[in-house]
């Protein structure tokens, strides 16, 4: 039985890091990397730190163009003819892989299916809904996301948790041995910031508004800056507030170290919201909506729309910081670190092996 896993971005590398070896042991397993994320600090460091084997095919596309990626992936899949193709999440590589898989009539398995922000302005929302619509099997993180899929009329749904928990818990002991926090001279209370989504950084007015909010915070703020965000800041001629310390993009171990030691995290990333609940850290999401509704419903993740909030970011930070004791008592809705094993069991059931 030949199975192919397709990935192309840093978050996918992290989330698949503990699933790939399990599939390697069980199946004739191909791993294809598209190169949507390709720079050393967005790709190579993650393969190295997380001890992930090199892909069987590395397209090295240096592109997020779906048509270009689909053409390359179709050529590989047509030659290899896997019975099943696994794609993850909502990236352009995911869409391209899903379309190529259907063209060669492979069965398509979508991991992290069913997430919904209910905002079709987001390309990620359009991507995930499209991939769900053409998938044969939908592996979803929680009972809530399963409910979304059921309301949309889908079948063949399996709740498996999210492999980000496997990665986060698995690599944390190694991450805590690093001296990331102390090396940066951070005190006992600091805020970790991540910011990269196009609706936030590709609009000069929105980006300036976010920085105005951040300027009001009376905390040390550390900001591993995404290449996209850095490029926009330079292009717009925007200077960061003095309370923000920028870093080049971090490897996963250094990022986990900072997240673990942080007081609170401010982010527009979906994965960071999941990592925050896993490490019991209060979170503020700098968006109007989210796909991680579980954390909002649990009261440990606050939405803060940069343009439309009726509250100051400073007051929201203080309120959210007060959730620390509450979050320590909560069960992680995304699982307890065995999602990769659950995914393999579902695939065994699907394939009849």
**Measuring CA to CA, which residue among 268, 347, 248, 295 is closest to residue 144?**
295
Name the active-site residue from 29, 37, 196, 326: 196
213 is a catalytic site residue: no
339 - beta bridge partners? none
Lookup: tokens for 294: 């579980």
C-alpha to C-alpha distance for 258 and 338, rounded to whole angstroms? 24
List Cα–Cα distances, 172 to 168, 169, 223, 252, 278, in angstroms: 6, 5, 20, 10, 11
Lookup: tokens for 299: 């009261």
Residue 91 — left, alpha, or beta (φ > 0 → left; ψ -120 to 50 → alpha)? beta
Q: Determine contact, residues 191/217, Cβ cutoff 8 Å.
A: yes
In degrees and rounded to multiples of 5, residue 213 shows phi and psi of -60, -45
Angle between helix 92-103 and helix 66-80 axes, rounded to 10 deg: 40
302 - beta bridge partners? 284
267 - beta bridge partners? 285
List Cα–Cα distances, 288 to 122, 172, 305, 306, 312, in angstroms: 11, 30, 4, 8, 15
Catalytic (active-site) positions? 196
């Amino acid at each position: 039985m030949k199975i192919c896993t397709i990935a192309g971005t840093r978050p996918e590398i992290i989330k698949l890091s503990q699933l790939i070896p399990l599939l390697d042991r069980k199946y004739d397993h191909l791993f294809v990397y598209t190169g949507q994320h390709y720079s050393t600090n967005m790709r190579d460091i993650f393969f190295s730190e997380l001890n992930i084997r090199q892909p069987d095919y590395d397209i090295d596309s240096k592109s997020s163009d779906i048509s270009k990626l689909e053409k390359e992936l179709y050529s590989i899949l047509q030659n290899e003819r896997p019975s099943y193709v696994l794609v993850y999440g909502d990236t352009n590589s995911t869409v391209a892989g899903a379309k190529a898989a259907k063209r060669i009539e492979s069965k398509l398995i979508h991991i992290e299916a069913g997430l919904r922000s209910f905002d079709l302005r987001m390309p990620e929302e359009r991507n995930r809904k499209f991939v769900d619509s053409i998938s044969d099997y939908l592996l979803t993180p929680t009972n809530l996301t399963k409910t979304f899929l059921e309301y949309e009329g889908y079948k063949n749904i399996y709740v498996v948790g999210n492999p980000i928990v496997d990665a986060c818990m698995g690599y944390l002991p190694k991450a805590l041995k690093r001296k990331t926090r102390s090396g940066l001279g951070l005190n006992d209370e600091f805020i970790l910031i991540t910011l990269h989504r196009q609706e936030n950084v590709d609009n000069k007015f929105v980006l300036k508004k976010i920085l105005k909010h951040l300027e009001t915070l009376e905390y040390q703020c550390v900001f591993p800056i995404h290449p996209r965000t850095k490029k926009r800041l330079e292009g717009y001629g925007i200077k960061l507030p003095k309370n923000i310390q920028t870093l080049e993009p971090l490897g996963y171990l250094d990022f986990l170290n900072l997240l673990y030691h942080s007081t609170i995290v401010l982010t527009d990333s979906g994965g960071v919201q999941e990592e925050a609940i896993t490490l019991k850290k209060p979170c503020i999401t700098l968006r109007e909506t989210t796909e991680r509704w579980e954390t909002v419903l649990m009261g440990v993740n606050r939405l803060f729309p940069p343009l439309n909030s009726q509250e100051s970011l400073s007051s929201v930070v203080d309120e959210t910081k007060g959730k620390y004791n509450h979050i320590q008592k909560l069960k992680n809705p995304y699982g307890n670190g065995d999602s990769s094993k659950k995914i393999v069991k579902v695939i065994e059931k699907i394939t009849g092996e």
